[in-house]
Amino acid sequence: MRTAAATVFLAALVLSPSGKASAETPASVVPGPKGPGLHLQVRTYDQTALAPEIRGGMRQATEAVLATAGIQLAWVSCDPGLEAASCPAPLGRHELALRLVRLAPTDTTGAVTLGYSLVNPTDRSGALATIYVDRVSRLADLSALDMPTVLGRAVAHEIGHLLLGTGGHSPAGVMRAIWSPQDLLSNRPGDWAFTPREAGQLQSALTSRRTSRQ
């Protein structure tokens, strides 16, 4: 874990080199599945101009992982040209922000960071996650898995950090610190889910966030 400032941690997901996406609903606000459960809203700030089918597949994959913790997602597009009316307003108690960016080409033969979240360890809070789309795409190519699925799993990992309010990782499940192409090739369901303990922590954290955050 690296320290970004005295009270802010960078919680990073790392790539170690050792499904068909659905079309996106053409709307600025896309609700998640209907039904009981806790609800979380995610604003996206896509600086990479993802194709609609990739964006739609990413959302589906993220929703599938968060569903293992009993959390349902709704999406608000704050992407260029697709901004919802609510984008200028401050984030609400039930909202997080997701940035999708690309980096300048670099040597990626070793372990590289796929994304990170800004987490305040003092009050265990966080609201902004960043994903490096180009690096996620490389991992998808190495593992012969579709890119939207890998992207959605990376997003779910960072949402986990923001809700749990920690930069820590788990030895199992989607909150593992290091992902390899072999992990994705194996595609074990338990590797892409929150553990039962994490699910309980995420639900408690989201409930507390909705009721107490100013």
- Domain harbouring 128, CATH code: 3.40.390
Rg (CA), the chain: 16
Helices marked H in 68-132: none
Q: Which range among 32-36, 109-113, 162-166, 169-173 shows the weakest confidence by mean pLDDT?
A: 32-36
Q: How far apart are CA 179 and CA 14, in angstroms?
A: 6
Domains in the chain: how many in total?
1
Tens digit of each residue's pLDDT (9 = 90 or more) over 41-93:
999 999 999 999 999 999 999 999 999 999 999 999 999 988 999 999 999 98
Tell me which residue of 133, 113, 139, 151 sits closest to 19, measured CA to CA: 151
Centroid of chain to Cα 69: 14
Query: What tokens does 141 get?
Result: 């190519």
- The model's pTM: 0.83
Determine contact, residues 184/145, Cβ cutoff 8 Å: yes
For the chain, counts of helices (H) and of strands (E): 5, 9
The identity of residue 49, as a single letter, is A
* Percent of the residues in the chain that have a pLDDT greater than 90, as a whole number: 58
Q: How far apart are CA 155 and CA 150, in angstroms?
A: 9
Q: Which residue has the tokens 């690096």?
A: 135
Determine contact, residues 202/194, Cβ cutoff 8 Å: yes
Tens digit of each residue's pLDDT (9 = 90 or more) over 85-140:
999 999 998 899 999 999 877 655 667 889 999 998 887 889 999 999 999 999 89
Query: What tokens does 4 get?
Result: 């970004």
Domain range for 174: 2-212
163: left (phi > 0), else alpha (psi -120 to 50), else beta?
alpha
